[in-house]
Amino acid sequence: MTQTPTGDSIAPAARTRAAEDIAVTEATKPKVVDDGNLVNRSGRGKKILVYTLLVIFALIYIYPFIVQVVTSFKTNGDAVANPLALVPDPITTAAFERLAQTEYPRWFTNSVVVTLLVTAGRVFLVSLAGYALARLTFRGRNAVFTGILAVLAVPGVVLLIPRFLVLNYLGMYNTYPALFVPLLVDAAGVFIMKQFFESIPVSVEEAARIDGAGTFRTFWSVVLPMARPALITITILSFQGSWNELPHFIIAADDPDLFTLTRGVGQLTSGGLGSGNQFPISMAAALLMTIPTALVFVVFQRYFTQGANAGAEKG
């Protein structure tokens, strides 16, 4: 469970926003007229106020990350004595070298594998189901959709014990599949894809169907390519969800070979590396697990923005 609100039950009307948000790119959003041009009195005072607030908040928001980067290159003594100093004295990569000797690389690999599997699986399964719910008529469709909406209302943390019970019962506890199979589908994703498919014109599919393409073919080579923005949103949501996931990995396995980054690093604080309060090591560990997120974030920034809103308003 990440701290990001992976929201749950929202008023039905809000749900449509997901599809709209995906369809409307930032550039086409209506722009509000600059009200600075309409009223110029007291404009300067306002600017000063806004900039002051901005600087304060920017410091509060950026400083912790700077501390994180700088401290990971410090010695422990330096980190404890001068926590505010922005230049390590001396500069050392000892923390990273220590991490390399621990289980950290294995945790990193596990996280990468799980994230890739979950993301690939989710994109495929969720769009299949979303397409069927949006476009195919079959008996029980409404019941299925209602069921998915109901599932959305279940708070994630409540599932800790239940999930363990089933994994244990099936003999999957402490196996690799236990880490990713339960995460392969999320109801929110099905919902987002359904909304998106409903927003694209039916005519293209009908043309393909008249040409004799089967349902899966139509879906795979005609509809899916048109759904790129929604697919990117799903990709981002599932990357973020599985890379940052903690509770599920806690209950799915306790074999150290199956630890992911969040699970392994989460134990650093209780002296998991025999490091106790070795701050440079914990900062380096935090830094390395943040870098992939930062890269994905920078590349897909625009879609992250949309994903946040889609994710929140998913219903």
Partner 1 sequence: MSTLTTTAGPGTGRAPRRPRQGEGQRQSVAGWLFVTPALFVLGLFLLIPIVMALWVSFTDWNGRGSPFSSRVELVGADNYAALLTEPGLSRQDFMISLRNTFYYVVGVVPLQTVIALLLAVIVNQKFLRGRTFFRTAFYFPSVVSSVAISLVFLFLFTGTGAVNQFLALFGIDGPVWFSDPRGLIHLIGDWLGLWSVGRPPSALADTQVLSLSLWEWFSGPSVALTAIMAQVIWTTAGTFMLMFLAGLQDLPTEVEEAAMVDGANRWQRFRNVTVPHLRPTILLVVTLGVIGTWQVFDQMYVMTQGGPAKTTLTPAFLSYTAAFRQQQWGQGAAMAFLLFLLIFLLTSLQRFVLRDKDEAATRRARRRQQRATRRGARA
- Give the footprint of partner 1 on residues 45-84 (CB under 8 A): 46-47, 50, 53-54, 57-58, 60-62, 64-65, 67-68, 71, 79-81, 83-84
The tally of CA atoms less than 13 A away on the side-chain side of residue 248 is 21
The number of beta carbons lying within 10 Å of the beta carbon of residue 99 is 26
The number of beta carbons lying within 10 Å of the beta carbon of residue 52 is 10
175 binds partner 1 (CB under 8 A): no
Q: Which of 94, 120, 149, 200 binds partner 1 (CB under 8 A)?
A: 200
Rounded CA gap, 186 and 123, in Å? Answer: 10
154 binds partner 1 (CB under 8 A): yes
Which of the stretches 88-96, 98-106, 192-200, 224-232 binds partner 1 when contact is defined by CB under 8 A? 192-200
**Touching partner 1, residues 4-23 (CB under 8 A):** 4-17, 19-21
138 binds partner 1 (CB under 8 A): yes
251 binds partner 1 (CB under 8 A): yes
The tally of CA atoms less than 13 A away on the side-chain side of residue 237 is 35
Rounded CA gap, 237 and 22, in Å? Answer: 13
Which of the stretches 87-95, 96-104, 226-234, 264-272 binds partner 1 when contact is defined by CB under 8 A? 264-272
Cβ nearer to partner 1, comparing 216 with 256: 216
Q: What is the residue whose two structure tokens read 């380096």?
A: 284
What's the one-letter identity of residue 14? A
299 binds partner 1 (CB under 8 A): no
Q: Peptide bond preceding 90: is omega within 30 degrees of 0, i.e. cis?
A: yes
Cβ nearer to partner 1, comparing 101 with 161: 161
Measured from the CB of residue 245, what is the shortest distance to partner 1 in angstroms?
A: 9
Q: Which of 135, 175, 213, 226 binds partner 1 (CB under 8 A)?
A: 135
Give every CB contact of residue 12 below 8 A, 6+ residues apart in sequence. Answer: 315
